[in-house]
Structures are given as structure tokens and as C-alpha cells.
Amino acid sequence: MVAPSIFSLVGVVSLAACALGKPISWRNGFDKRHAKALPAPISFNNYGGKSSLANFDNFNGVSNFDGSQSQQIFVEQSEQVVCTQIDVEIIQQKLVVIREMVKRILIEQICEVEVQTVVLEQFSSSIDSFGQDIRHHSSRQIGYDSNIAALSSHLYNSDGSQSNHNLGFSGSQVGNHSVSVGGSNWNNSTSPASVGAIYQASKSAKADAQSKNGTSSSSSSSSSSTLLSTSTLSSSSSKSSSTSSSAAKSSSTSSSSAAATITAKAY
């Protein structure tokens, strides 16, 4: 189980290194030329004297910041689910909905920017860790915890506000009730190269997008202030008339058209 995945990993490293002439760092230290001392465990409990972080590490456990060390237990399925490919635009829409939900949680339910920062980094590192799984760069199996995923309906109250009750689990238990999905096109001989190539292209696209962030600071600051006033308007209108869904709808329409204008400007 472990040996073949190390084998394919080394194959990808040398292939990508040849193609790009760039070192690739591996958390597990397979690339000896660039091996660094193992990072020391960091505890965030009471970090910076913040009592809001008193129990931060108790969730996943120290040295398990991204949850990647939590145990996976796969449950037996009477019938294995098999993937069905749908339009990528629909996938992009669904993931953006989740992303905006993440933003809402962070800014409505956390006031300390330090806490917003560490929690968001924890979240994004757990997503990075899943990326390693799907690229077969980890020793973990690919699956999701179906008990946890089923809790999505508990995130909102019936009036659309965010719930704030304890969902009754700890981070270290996530993976306890894992299920796998069949039907992926992974091929041990061809996928390390094809997946490695599109991963590198994605990284380049990310770097390209990030390099654009500071190029037109005057126009970007004017568009962000447009957004700010629109969103201030929509949050105050939804507060003053929380029962009127049409008011909320019209303000969200105007904010999305403002966002569309800004996007068009940026391009």
C-alpha cells in the first residue's frame, strides 16, 4: 500500500522537476536535496493571550492542524456510490456557495482578526491536504465523512440566520465514518503525469492571478469601496426588513450586478 505510492510519488517528482527545472518540496521529506528540519509542533491554545483560543488544539490535536492525522475508518456500504460527472460550471457554483458560507461564518461569528486568520488557515490547509489525497500524494485514502457532511442542514436556523449550537463532534473524530466513491479515472501508470501536469498549470494560473492584485491599486480601491457601500446597504436593508424577502432579493440583485460590473472592469 505505502510502497507503490512512494514509487509513483518519486516518479512525479523527477518528471515535474525535469519539466520545470524547479524543486518541489514534500512534507514527508522524500526530496532529500531540499529536506529541512521537521517543523516543531505549535500550540494555539491561548495563543497571544487570547482566551477565545483556550481550547483551539483540543479539536484536532496538536500536530494535527490540518486534520490529516485523524484516523480514517471506512464504513461498509451495501452498495458503493459511483461518481457521475456533471457540468463543471455547476461544480464551480456549488463550491463558491460553500466559500461564501465560509466567509459569512468567519466575519459574522468571529470578531478577532487573529482568530479569523488561524481558523481560515486551518480550513485551507485541510483542503490542501485533501488535494494531496486526490493526487495520490498522501498515504490517506480518498473519501469523505458521511456523518459530518450530513450536518450541513444544521448550519442555519429556519429564518436564514446562522446557527450557533454545538454540532457535537471533535475534529479528531472526522473520518470516523468515511465512505469511498467509485468510478474515478485514476490510472496508476498514466495519472501521475497527467494529474501532475494540470496541477502545475493550476499553480501557474494561481500565481498569475495573484500577481495581478497590486497592479492597478487606484481602480481596485475604487471598486472595493463601491462593493463596501453596496454591502452596507444590503445588510442594513435586510436588518430593517428581515421578513421581507423581496427587499433582500432586490438588494442582493443589485449587489451581484455591482460585482459583475467590477469583474468586467477588472478584465
Residues that bind ligand NAG (CB under 6 A): 4-5, 147, 173, 176-177, 187-190, 210-211, 213-214
Task: Decide whether 194 or 242 has the Cβ nearer to ligand NAG.
Answer: 194
Task: Decide whether 59 or 238 has the Cβ nearer to ligand NAG.
Answer: 59
Q: What's the burial of 205, exposed, middle or buried (CB within 10 Å: 0-12/13-18/19+)?
A: exposed
Rounded to a whole number of angstroms, the minimum distance from the CB of residue 208 to ligand NAG is 9
Task: Decide whether 85 or 210 has the Cβ nearer to ligand NAG.
Answer: 210
Task: Decide whether 211 or 240 has the Cβ nearer to ligand NAG.
Answer: 211
Task: Decide whether 91 or 198 has the Cβ nearer to ligand NAG.
Answer: 198
Task: Decide whether 176 or 237 has the Cβ nearer to ligand NAG.
Answer: 176
Cα atoms in the 13 Å half-sphere on the side-chain side of 237: 18
The CA distance from 260 to 80, in Å, is 41
Rounded to a whole number of angstroms, the minimum distance from the CB of residue 126 to ligand NAG is 18
Cell output for 262: 467590477
Rounded to a whole number of angstroms, the minimum distance from the CB of residue 211 to ligand NAG is 5
Task: Decide whether 1 or 88 has the Cβ nearer to ligand NAG.
Answer: 1
Cell output for 46: 491561548
Rounded to a whole number of angstroms, the minimum distance from the CB of residue 4 to ligand NAG is 4
Rounded to a whole number of angstroms, the minimum distance from the CB of residue 22 to ligand NAG is 16
Cell output for 202: 493550476
Question: DSSP letter string over 150-190?
Answer: GGGGGSB-TTSSBP-S--S--GGGTTTTEE-EE-----TTT
Q: What are the distances in angstroms from CA 209 to CA 89, 98, 126, 250?
A: 19, 21, 22, 31
Rounded to a whole number of angstroms, the minimum distance from the CB of residue 55 to ligand NAG is 18
Task: Decide whether 163 or 188 has the Cβ nearer to ligand NAG.
Answer: 188
Instruction: Reduce the DSSP state of residue 74 to 3 states and report it.
Output: strand
Rounded to a whole number of angstroms, the minimum distance from the CB of residue 73 to ligand NAG is 7
Rounded to a whole number of angstroms, the minimum distance from the CB of residue 199 to ligand NAG is 17
